[in-house]
Amino acid sequence: ANGSKVFNLIATDKTIVATPFQSTTAHYGQCFSICSLNLKCLSFDHSYTSDIGECSFYDLYQTNNLKEKPGVKFYSQTLLTATDCVDWFNLGYRKNGIYEVNLLGKYMRRVYCHMQAAEGGWMAFQRRFDGSVQFIGRNWEEFKNGFGNPEGEYYLGNELLHLLTTSEDYDYLVEARSYGQASSARRKLIHKVHIESEEEDYKIQYRLEDISEDYGGATSYGTLMRGCRFSTFDHDRDTAPDQNCGQLYGGWWHAWCHDVAMNGHYSHTETPVSPASGIIWRDWRGHGETLKNSLLMIRRSSFKQ
């Protein structure tokens, strides 16, 4: 569904603490039209002391941080039905960043939307790039409910992943970047991924033929975790005998412990904290090199640009 734009009167004699990207002198109705037709414009203020007055336009929504500005009324746009990053994309937004979404129409979350990768509209459920949020040592409940901060590093939560991917078909995209002078990026796309319920240990399911070769087929990223249950240090469900992969390499859909481990230790160099303990994508960079960035994303399979 496409979102609906609405401007609400937020405050009188106050405005947002921000620098307008544009100002003009016009009637209120013209100010409203200008802001409505400009995708960048999310709020505006207008002088109410005369029919024709100064309008200032902002690329920010309503915040609690308002300042005194006598003689103006401040209006902010709201989006009533953005259920995910696809809705924002369909509204014309093309900038990567943090967006507010109402998942399944009832779970309000702030998420990172990648609007430029693989035709856009992707919602990140895991984002890592600076080690500011610790992923190692997180227990089953934390991975179930999510943790971190969308403005930085975060994990959305396995329960929401389950609810979303069993409500309809979703595609899965990983985008990762390596360290070093020869820094490079790699993507892997899997179609129609489903995350089963907690009773099934959030098992990840998809068909082998749904592992796309759009970004190269010579990788076991997709084949290794297919059919695996999610495993953490306190909820060991991996298939490796005599090892607890979640304890060693973080919560993940582990088959063998360190073939793929995107929630492992973060290191600020390409060398892992300990052997094979980093953000590992083995058949791309090997056991001995950890990745710099990791972005795991989902998008409705029905998406059409």
Domain ranges of the chain: 8-78, 85-300
Among the listed ranges 54-68, 95-109, 118-132, 184-198, which one has the minimum average pLDDT value?
Answer: 54-68
Residues in the chain, how many?
Answer: 305
Share of the chain above pLDDT 90, in %: 49
- At the topology level of CATH, where does 85-300 sit? Gamma Fibrinogen; Chain A, domain 1 (3.90.215)
> Is CATH 3.50.4.10 correct for 8-78?
yes
> What pLDDT shows up at residue 131?
94
Please state the rounded mean pLDDT for residues 167-185.
Answer: 86
> What pLDDT shows up at residue 73?
92
Please state the rounded mean pLDDT for residues 9-36.
Answer: 89
> What pLDDT shows up at residue 258?
75
> What pLDDT shows up at residue 23?
94
Backbone angle region of 87, left / alpha / beta, with phi > 0 → left and psi within -120 to 50 → alpha:
alpha
Task: Say if residue 186's pLDDT is above 60.
Answer: yes
Q: How many CA atoms lie within 13 A of 99 on its CB side?
A: 31
Task: Say if residue 232's pLDDT is above 80.
Answer: yes
Query: Between 265 and 78, whose confidence is greater?
Result: 265
Please state the rounded mean pLDDT for residues 253-277.
Answer: 83
> In angstroms, rounded to a whole number, what is the distance separating the alpha carbons of residues 21 and 188?
38
Q: Report pTM.
A: 0.74
Task: Say if residue 145's pLDDT is above 90.
Answer: yes
Backbone angle region of 60, left / alpha / beta, with phi > 0 → left and psi within -120 to 50 → alpha:
beta
> What pLDDT shows up at residue 1?
38
> In angstroms, rounded to a whole number, what is the distance separating the alpha carbons of residues 279 and 256?
15
Helices and strands counted in the chain (H then E): 7, 16
Query: Between 288 and 57, whose confidence is greater?
Result: 57
Give the type of residue at 17.
V
CB of 147 closer than 8 Å to CB of 138: yes
Q: What does pLDDT average to over the chain?
A: 88
Please state the rounded mean pLDDT for residues 182-194.
Answer: 87
